[in-house]
Amino acid sequence: NSQNAPASDHERQMLEQVVEFGEVMEGEVTSNDKRYFQAIYPDRAVSRACVSCHNAHTESPKRDFKLNDVMGGLVIEVPLD
């Protein structure tokens, strides 16, 4: 979904790590000269409804999600300044 695309190359790289390893990624990022703590949590397919919806969605990056697969990430940013 283009509305939920990574906001930066750094965020894209962190999301790729989350999807590959299924672990939380966190660190400090700078955007527009402001520092943020950023954490990206794995967004897992926790029910059959998640799997069915994502596998059927026209903009889904893949069509073979299974239960407990990491489908993406939830990004949380907290200002540090």
Number of domains in the chain: 1
Q: How far is the C-alpha of 68 from the C-alpha of 66, rounded, in Å?
A: 6
pLDDT at 47: 96
Domain limits at 27? 2-79
Condensed to tens digits (0 to 9), the pLDDT of residues 1-47 reads 677 888 888 899 999 999 999 999 999 999 889 999 999 999 999 99
Six token digits for residue 12: 């894209």
With contact defined as beta carbons under 8 Å apart, do 73 and 15 qualify?
yes
- Residues 80, 8, 41: CA angle, nearest 5 degrees: 65
